[in-house]
């Protein structure tokens, strides 16, 4: 029989501390609801004493949540505890999370107290909190740098005072796994009343050890893990909950543990929180990064096509993704090309794989990455048409006025004809440029994504702009390079327009072939 690991999410409290702009009440509620939908056991909604906005957020979240337990943070200060309880008064069942520095460094330089005063502050605060709820969590801040005998003594006393969860934070990410695991084992061996509480851990990632320390802690007996979605948090961040959750799932037989998480909600939750918080998920981020299920090596792609388990230990579907991604680069082999062509509905009799592969390698060496519509062009258009740039820039003029209106005037070669259009918008110069191109070409495309890449390490290097648009339910990508960012943007859009035009030409060619 497996034991449950309680998942404690502090994205709204510790995670938000790392944001440049605080979240508003509506944004926090959206995050709380998506966390509840994912199956998070306990949601630390905020630090109510810190601001009226935080108080209001905690209050509304406590009124709205139905399944996840709500928790609020408080210092060992009477007013903090009272305000934390008041903010959660709508909840039928809530937790007060009290913290206090326990390391000699914190006690002396931060709190200017004696060790005995720390014990008194902790125990009296817990007894006060017990007036409002029986669910009290106590955190020994900077436990990773607290001498073990001192830590054990504090833990024993706060348990006697009524704490029900003891959290052991590696507040500054100081420990490595064997050290942190030994701290947890020592608590179980030396604290006589440790069996009366749940032991929790809250690890920071300053040395990149947060997830490893957390896993080591649960192997040593901890039964609650605290962290954030995408590893958000102070400095280098917190334990990334999605990584912990999938590790527990994948290693279920050896760890003999489980969680209440709905795994298929992980990717959606990660993406929504990233968007609301305006934070970028690194492409190589474990579990939820854009490259987590992508394969570029020809050997890997061939192995995955034969059996996904060759190079995937978890499936993208298990976290809510539709499928994995085989990137088409110069390292890709014939197997990947055949796979992509088959996915687009083209049997091997319709094209010559050797001819396609040779043309593909030339294009991949030139552009870095090849997309599905590029394969269609290479397979079904002659070389002259492949190299034809139907849309070519003549000139452009972009203006942003003091009244907030931006305008774009673009003169564009469309085959042998020249078309000129001007559009104005209050939504910035990017929107003006996009709408002008849309009007010139009459393509019913939707602007999806833009990424600016600053490459100016020297005066001669370029800025890059990557753009994604959707046209007839298909994603098209464009990239532009120039020392001027607006020129880069213009070139990226023209790149996309030519890709769309070639795709339309391929459709005409294929229709004629069927006749």
How far apart, in whole angstroms, are the C-alpha atoms of residue 263 and residue 151? 35
Does 26 reside within a domain? yes
Q: Number of structural domains, the chain?
A: 3
> Do residues 446 and 471 both lie within one domain?
yes
The residue from 229, 247, 277 where one domain ends is 277
Mean pLDDT of 329-355: 81
> Do residues 371 and 505 both lie within one domain?
no
Mean pLDDT of 82-106: 97
Buried b (16+ CB within 10 A) or exposed e, 396-416: bebeeeeeeebbbbbebeeee
> Do residues 328 and 443 both lie within one domain?
no
- For 402-442, what is the HEC assignment? CCCCEEEEEEEEECCEEEEEEEEECCCHHHHHHHHHHHHHC
Does 36 reside within a domain? yes
> Do residues 364 and 306 both lie within one domain?
yes
CATH code where residue 210 lies: 3.20.20.70
> Do residues 54 and 166 both lie within one domain?
yes
306 has a pLDDT exceeding 80: no
Please check whether residue 462 is in contact with residue 443, taking contact to mean a CB–CB distance below 8 angstroms.
Answer: no
324 has a pLDDT exceeding 70: no
Q: Tokens for 156, please give them.
A: 């024993």
Mean pLDDT of 278-300: 73
Mean pLDDT of 104-111: 94
CA distance from start to end of the chain: 64
Does 285 reside within a domain? no
Look up the pTM and report it. Answer: 0.76
Does 78 reside within a domain? yes
Q: How many CA atoms are closer than 13 Å to the CA of 287, on its beta-carbon side? A: 26
How far apart, in whole angstroms, are the C-alpha atoms of residue 70 and residue 80? 16
Count of Cβ atoms closer than 10 Å to residue 245 Cβ: 24
> Do residues 270 and 323 both lie within one domain?
no
- Residue 390: closest CA among 507, 494, 510: 494
User: Where are the strands (E) in 64-132, listed by range?
Assistant: 69-75, 94-101
CATH code where residue 477 lies: 3.30.160.270
How high does pLDDT run on average in the chain?
89
> Do residues 322 and 353 both lie within one domain?
yes
Tens of pLDDT, residues 238-287: 999 999 999 999 999 999 999 999 999 999 999 999 989 988 888 888 88
> Do residues 241 and 197 both lie within one domain?
yes
- Backbone torsion region of residue 59, taken as left when φ is above 0, otherwise alpha when ψ lies between -120 and 50, otherwise beta: alpha
The residue from 380, 403, 422 where one domain ends is 380
> Do residues 179 and 230 both lie within one domain?
yes
> What's the confidence (pLDDT) of residue 280?
84
511 has a pLDDT exceeding 90: no
Name the residue range of residue 363's domain: 298-380
> Do residues 178 and 81 both lie within one domain?
yes
Residue count of the chain, please give it: 515
The residue from 351, 380, 409 where one domain ends is 380
Those residues whose C-beta lies under 8 Å from the C-beta of residue 249, and which sit 6 or more positions away, are: 258, 259, 263, 314, 318
Does 293 reside within a domain? no
How far apart, in whole angstroms, are the C-alpha atoms of residue 54 and residue 72? 10
Q: Tokens for 166, please give them.
A: 């003891």
């Amino acid at each position: 029989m497996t034991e449950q690991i309680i998942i404690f999410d502090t994205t709204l409290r510790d995670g938000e501390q790392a944001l440049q702009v605080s979240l508003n009440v509506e944004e926090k509620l959206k995050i709380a609801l998506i966390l509840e939908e994912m199956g998070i056991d306990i949601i630390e909604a905020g630090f109510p004493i810190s601001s009226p906005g935080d108080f209001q957020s905690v209050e509304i979240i406590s009124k709205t949540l139905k399944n996840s337990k709500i928790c609020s943070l408080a210092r060992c200060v009477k007013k903090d505890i009272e305000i934390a309880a008041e903010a959660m008064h709508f909840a039928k069942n809530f937790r007060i999370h009290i913290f206090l520095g326990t390391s000699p460094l914190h006690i002396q330089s931060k709190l200017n107290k004696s060790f005995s005063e720390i014990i008194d502050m902790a125990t009296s605060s817990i007894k006060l909190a017990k007036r409002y709820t029986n669910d009290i969590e106590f955190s020994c801040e900077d436990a990773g740098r607290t001498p073990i005998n001192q830590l054990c003594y504090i833990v024993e006393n706060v348990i006697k005072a009524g704490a029900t969860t003891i959290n052991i934070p590696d507040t500054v990410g100081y420990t490595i796994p064997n050290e942190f695991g030994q701290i947890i084992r020592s608590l179980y061996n030396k604290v006589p009343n440790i069996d009366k509480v749940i032991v929790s851990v809250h690890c920071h990632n300053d040395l990149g050890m947060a997830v490893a320390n957390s896993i080591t802690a649960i192997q040593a007996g901890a039964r609650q893990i605290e962290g954030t979605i995408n590893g958000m948090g102070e400095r280098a961040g917190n334990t990334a909950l999605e990584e912990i959750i999938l590790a527990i799932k994948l290693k279920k037989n050896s760890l003999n543990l489980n969680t209440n998480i709905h795994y298929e909600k992980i990717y959606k939750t990660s993406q929504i929180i990233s968007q609301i918080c305006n934070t970028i998920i690194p492409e190589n981020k474990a579990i939820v990064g854009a490259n987590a299920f992508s394969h570029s090596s020809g050997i890997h792609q061939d192995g995955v096509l034969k059996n996904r388990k060759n190079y995937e230990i978890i499936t993208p579907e298990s976290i809510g993704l539709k499928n994995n991604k085989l990137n088409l680069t110069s390292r890709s082999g014939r197997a990947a090309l055949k796979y992509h062509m088959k996915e687009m509905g083209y049997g091997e009799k319709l094209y010559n794989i050797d001819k396609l592969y040779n043309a593909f390698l030339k294009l991949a060496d030139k552009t870095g990455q090849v997309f599905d519509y590029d394969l269609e062009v290479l397979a079904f258009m002659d070389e002259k048409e492949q190299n034809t740039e139907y849309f070519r820039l003549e000139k452009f003029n972009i203006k942003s006025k003091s009244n907030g209106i931006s305008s774009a005037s673009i003169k564009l070669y469309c085959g042998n004809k020249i078309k000129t259009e001007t559009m104005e918008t209050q939504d910035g110069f990017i929107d003006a440029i996009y709408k002008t191109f849309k009007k010139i070409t009459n393509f019913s495309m939707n602007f999806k994504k833009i990424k600016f890449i600053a490459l100016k390490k020297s005066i001669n290097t370029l800025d890059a702009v990557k753009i994604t648009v959707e046209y007839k339910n298909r994603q098209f990508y464009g990239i532009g390079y120039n020392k001027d960012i607006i020129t880069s943007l213009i070139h990226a859009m023209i790149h996309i327009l030519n890709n769309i035009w070639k795709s339309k030409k391929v459709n005409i060619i294929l229709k004629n072939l069927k006749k």
